[in-house]
Structure 1
Amino acid sequence: MNDGYTALWLGLIGGILYITGWRERNDAAPPAPVLLLLLAAAVWLHAYEWPIGSGIRISGSAALLLVCLMAYVLTRGNGGETALLAACSGLAGLLWVWIRCMYAADPVFVLIRPEWDGPLLAGAAAGLLSDKARLHYAIAAAAAAAAPLSGLLQPGLSQPAAEIGGPAWWDGLALAALAARLTGCARLLLRQASERVNGSRLKQRGGNS
Structure 2
Amino acid sequence: MLDDASTLERPREDGFAGVKLSGDVFGALINLSGRRRFTSQRVVLYAVLASMGHEGAVATARETLAQFREAHLTLVEGKGGLPGVFCAQLRDAYFGVLQGDRVIRDFIALAEAALDAIVGGGRGAPALLDELVRSGTALLSVLNGLTLVYEEQSKRHAQLQKRQLQVMMGDIKTIAKQARMVAFNAQIVAARAGQAGKEFSVVASSMTLITGEIDDLVHEALNGALAA
- TM-score normalised per structure 1: 0.31
Q: Between Structure 1 and Structure 2, which shows a larger proportion of helix residues?
A: 2
Larger Rg: 2
- TM-score normalised per structure 2: 0.29
